Structure formats: C-alpha cells, structure tokens
Structure 1
Amino acid sequence: MNKQISVIGMPMDLGQARRGVDMGPSAIRYAHLIERLSDMGYSVEDLGDIPVNREKIKEDEELKNLNSVLSGNDELAKKVDSVIEKKRFPLVLGGDHSIAIGTLTGTAKHYKELGVIWYDAHGDLNTLETSPSGNIHGMPLAVSLGVGHGTLVNLGGYAPKIKPENVVIIGARSLDEGEREYIKKTGMKVYTMHEIDRLGMTKVIEETINYLSDCDGVHLSLDLDGLDPSDAPGVGTPVVGGISYRESHLAMEMLYDADIITSAEFVEVNPILDHKNKTGQTAVELAESLLGKKLL
C-alpha cells in the first residue's frame, strides 16, 4: 500500500435532493481521520475541500444541477490526477456519489485496465431515460462506463473510463428496472445481499480479488449506505437489510491484505441524519481497516 496519502474533500450535495451530505467531509475529518491515519505511519496531506458552484436550479432542467455537478467533478478530476501524478494515494471524501464521476475521470487515465469495487446498496447505473428522479448521484457508474448524458460521459476528454467486465458491485439491494437490464445485458459482476448472505463476505471478497486480478489498478468506491442503516444511519438513501459493520471491516481487511487498492472514496455521509457522528466514525474506521489497521 502506498504510504503517501492525499485527502481530498468534495462537499457536493447537488447530485441528489437532500441537503446535508455536503458536510460529509467535515464529519469524517471530525472523527479524526487525518490523525488516525498518521498514527498508522502514513504520510497524510489534507488538500482541503474543492469549492462547489451553486447555480440556481432551472425549472426545466432534466438532470438536476447538471452544470454545477459537472464543474465540481471537473475540478475533482484534475485534483485526483495531480495526486496520482505525484505517486500519492488519493482518498476522496464525499459528498454524494455523483463525485465518483470526477474521481474516476482523474484516476482511470493512469491505468489501462482500472478495476472498480462499487460497495453500495444501489447500482448507480441510471441514465436520464431510466432514472425515476433525475438525480445524478444515481448515475455515476453508468457515466463512467460511457452511458448517459454526453457532457458527463466525456468529462476529461475521454470515454469510457472503465469497462463493465472490470466492475464488481457489492451489497446491491435496490436496483431500478433499467439498471437490472443493463447488468443482465453486460454480464456485470454483482453480489447482491442474497449472494453475501449465501456465500459469506469472505468468499465474496476472495472472488472479487480473483475476478479483478488482471486489472493494473483497483478503485474502491464505498457508499456508506452499502452498510445496514443500523450501523450507518447518517445517509440520504438508507436501505434496510444491508452489510453489517463487521462484514465491512472484514472486506476492508481482506482488500488490504490483497494489496490491490490504488485509490478510494467514501461517500454519502450525511451528519444531519446521523446519530452523534456514528456514520462519520464508521467511515474512518473502515478507512483504517482498508489501510491496514490490525488488532494485533
């Protein structure tokens, strides 16, 4: 694991309708992320938060806050690109999951075959045509795969960023019809909660590591709503029956042992909906496990 970490805050809350997730980066920092990673022996630089442009929403806008989401992700992509150029590990703090568009834009240009682990209750594979809401935080994986609104898809001047065969979704339990059709059409690897319950998290992560073994880098995109709301209550779109706190730690520990993760983001922490920053604290503890913290 790269011992040089650059933390980037992306306080974007315009990819969805509920306010509060813009305070996610602050909540995660407040849970002592920087200090705790430094105590583990990492060289950590905090690059602060990327400013988010809040344009007035147009009444007839089909994709909500498109220009603001686009400009914010463009700045994030440039920042992530710069971090990787310096041979540092980018750790991005969200913000809603629309920020993955920028993270993957800045990351994928450095890899021929970038793998992605999408740890999430949702597929985020919607487009304007399939989305029930028009919220862009339900579209970042589709956009990164080259499917969706042209300005989002072509961010950074290239598309697609990743390939369906290099993606593994873990924890899915809320998929829209268009997302299910896309998954079936592409044969994308998805571990729903059914597979996690039946196989166990150990088997799921072992298979994921093996499945992505030909990739030259792997990005972890972890949405805190992938966890059960009892363990991560401070999220905007909670779905009951999710991955447990302990299962998530096991997953992170196994990914560290496999030494395959080259970049990561933790998204959708909403302190307004949280209980005493429980979800922000959970994000920090999972980041610690991903980066190698052990009991013994």
Structure 2
Amino acid sequence: MLHVHEPVNPMFGVSKGNGRIMMLGVPMEDTLSFKPGTRFAPMVLRQVTPYLEATPTEWLGYEPLSELNDLGDVSLHQGDVEFNLSRIRSITSELLGKGLLINIGGEHTISLAVARAIRDKFNELGVFIQFDAHLDLRGEWPMGQGLSHATFARILNNEVKPSLYVNLGFRGFDEEELSYARGLNSVLLDSVELSAVSYTQLRDLLRIINDTHGPIHLSIDIDVFDPSVAPGVGNPEAGGVGYMTIYKALEVAMPLIAERLVAIDIVEYSPPNDVSNITASLVAKLIVDLMNLYLWGINCRRVRS
C-alpha cells in the first residue's frame, strides 16, 4: 500500500491472517504538551509482543491472532500536523469497510483524522466512544494552539458531528470542557463513576447506542489507566482505573457496538516513559482482548437477531 511500510516484525510475530482485523501503525507525534515518545509505540510493540502470551482475558471460543493482518506503519512527516492528518485520513478511507481497523498511535490527534475518514466513507459518524483520562475538549492547548491532542475531540464534535459522544474514565478537565460535553448528546462517566458503576448499570447507560445509527469509532487513550499500572504515557493523571475496570466496560459495550464498529484507535502509549515494559504488556493484552471481544460481540448480535 502506498505510504505504508510493511512491518519487519509483525505484531505478535504472526504472519498475515484472514484479514478480518487489520492493524495499522500510526506513529504521529506532533502536538505533545508534556513528555515525548508516542511515535515509538508501534515499533516497540512489534518488538515486545512476540515474547508475550497472546491469551485473552476470557476464552470466548475465538482465536484472535488468526484474524490479524498487520499492515505496517504509515509514513509520516515529523512535525507537519496537517500533512500527517491528511495522509492518515486518506489511508484510513481506503481501508474502512474491509474489516475492523485497529490503529496504533501515536498521539490522540490521529482520532480526528480517522473520524474524518469515517465520515468521508460512510457520510456520517454514529457514535464516538473515548476512554481517556482527559476530555480533550479544550478550545486551545497549549494556549494559542487550536489543533492538538487536547483539542481534537472538540474539533471532532464540531466538524464530524457524531450522533452520540461517550467519554469514560476522565479525571483531568476544566469546567468549560465539562460544560461543552454536557451540551452534547453524551454519556459521561469520570474515573470514580466508572470504577463504581455495576455491569448492569453500565449496560443500561450504554443502551442509548441502540438509538443511533451509522458507524461507530472507539478510541482508547492509555492514560485512562492509573499510572501505577500504565506509567508509559505522555500525560499521566493519578486517580485512574485498573485494567479490569476497562475490560468490564468493553465487555458491556462490545455486543452493542461490534456490528457497527469500523475503527479502534489505541493511542498515547509512550515507550520512553515506560518502566520494564509494564505498559507495553498492558497494551498488548488490551489489543488481544479487543480483538477477542469484537469477534464475540459480532456473534452475540447475530445470535440475538
């Protein structure tokens, strides 16, 4: 594929599978505001994952790696934000509809390019679901900078206009951001609420997804996890959640979204800020679990239908 480098070390060391799940490295890091390093995430994950057990948290009857097709990394121009977003958008548009696309960032701004590509391809974005320590709804950040990893979600909501905006696990925000989020058609749970909500309560909250139509875009910022379990991020926020809290939320959501889910972004893993590959192993487990839950979720919907 033009402007995509084939991987020397495929993710998890597997040869290309059936291709129902495509993986794309997106090493964009142009608007960081604290600790650098997210552009190295796809490379490091490819180096580390062959040595980790690719076993999902729950055995659901599927072999996720057999479905994985690692396409390699997008070729980007370091520091050229608009060029990089345009290239990511173009490549993503080409891949959408051919299976589930999992993008490995890179900074969170890549989700704006992916959302634009979804609108290009399907003429709409039904639901944008964001797991994040932050709302990323600022008008500017840093001050005077209108396009960044801390403003992308506001631009996305203003420009792409998803029918429903969901943010789970946030704890770093200002009042203006929260007010803006509440003015959207939204489901918002901060980290305390997400930790406390029951499986049944969360399912009832997320059933609003059934009232929407159109493609669904899931974006997971690794800083949603507490720094004690995921130190390798650029903007750590204390008071986060553990792995099983996020897993529970994904397990609840996936039967609702799987058939309409077209893209997943896993962003903001920063290898230089990691400790003994703690975060790398968490991200690897998350990738396997997402693939596993996706395959299970599709089957759940088909059985129910």
The normalised TM-score by structure 1 is 0.80
Aligned-pair identity in percent equals 23
Give the counterpart letter for 1:76 in structure 2. I
Which structure 1 segments of 5+ residues have no match?
56-67, 147-159
Residue matched to 1:14: 30
Structure 1 stretch 191-200 or stretch 33-42: which is displaced more? 33-42
Residue matched to 2:205: 207
**Distance across 2 between alignment mates of 1:177 and 1:256:** 31
Give the counterpart letter for 1:21 in structure 2. T
User: CA 1:255/1:6 → structure 2, altered by over 3 Å: closer, same or farther?
Assistant: same
Deviations 1:225-260 (CA, angstroms, capped at 9, x unpaired):
011111111001111111211111222233334435
| Alignment size in residue pairs | 264
Q: Secondary structure at the match of 2:113?
A: helix
Q: Is the 8 A contact 1:104 1:144 kept in 2?
A: yes
Q: Is the 8 A contact 1:169 1:189 kept in 2?
A: yes
1:32 equivalent to 2:56? Answer: no
Shift of 1:187: 5.3
Q: Within 5 Å, which residues of 2 pair with 1:58-77?
A: 68-77=80-89
Across the aligned residues of Structure 1 and Structure 2, the Cα RMSD in angstroms comes to 2.7
Q: Is the 8 A contact 1:89 1:262 kept in 2?
A: yes
**Distance across 2 between alignment mates of 1:141 and 1:205:** 24
User: CA 1:144/1:35 → structure 2, altered by over 3 Å: closer, same or farther?
Assistant: farther
**Distance across 2 between alignment mates of 1:109 and 1:46:** 24
Shift of 1:39: 5.0
Q: Within 5 Å, which residues of 2 pair with 1:230-241?
A: 230-241=228-239
Give the counterpart letter for 1:211 in structure 2. I
Q: Secondary structure at the match of 1:240?
A: coil
Q: Is the 8 A contact 1:52 1:72 kept in 2?
A: yes
Residue matched to 1:5: 21
Q: Is the 8 A contact 2:54 2:285 kept in 1?
A: no
Residue matched to 2:272: 272
User: CA 1:93/1:206 → structure 2, altered by over 3 Å: closer, same or farther?
Assistant: farther
Shift of 1:27: 2.4
2:107 counterpart (96, 119, 126): 96
Q: Is the 8 A contact 1:225 1:268 kept in 2?
A: yes
**Distance across 2 between alignment mates of 1:97 and 1:187:** 22
Which structure 2 segments of 5+ residues have no match?
1-17, 56-61, 295-305
Deviations 1:209-234 (CA, angstroms, capped at 9, x unpaired):
x1211233221100000111111110
Q: Is the 8 A contact 1:108 1:114 kept in 2?
A: no
Structure 1 stretch 280-289 or stretch 216-225: which is displaced more? 280-289
Give the counterpart letter for 1:48 in structure 2. G
**Distance across 1 between alignment mates of 2:268 and 2:234:** 7
Give the counterpart letter for 1:45 in structure 2. N
**Distance across 1 between alignment mates of 2:266 and 2:232:** 13
Deviations 1:119-167 (CA, angstroms, capped at 9, x unpaired):
0010111123x75473701011111112xxxxxxxxxxxxx2133x511
Residue matched to 1:45: 69
Shift of 1:188: 3.0
User: CA 1:11/1:287 → structure 2, altered by over 3 Å: closer, same or farther?
Assistant: same
Q: Is the 8 A contact 1:253 1:289 kept in 2?
A: no
Q: Is the 8 A contact 1:253 1:292 kept in 2?
A: no
Deviations 1:191-212 (CA, angstroms, capped at 9, x unpaired):
112322442365335422x121
Q: Secondary structure at the match of 2:109?
A: helix
User: CA 1:246/1:198 → structure 2, altered by over 3 Å: closer, same or farther?
Assistant: closer
Q: Secondary structure at the match of 1:171?
A: strand
**Distance across 1 between alignment mates of 2:27 and 2:269:** 10
Q: Secondary structure at the match of 2:236?
A: coil
The normalised TM-score by structure 2 is 0.77
Give the counterpart letter for 1:7 in structure 2. M
Give the counterpart letter for 1:120 in structure 2. D
User: CA 1:205/1:278 → structure 2, altered by over 3 Å: closer, same or farther?
Assistant: farther
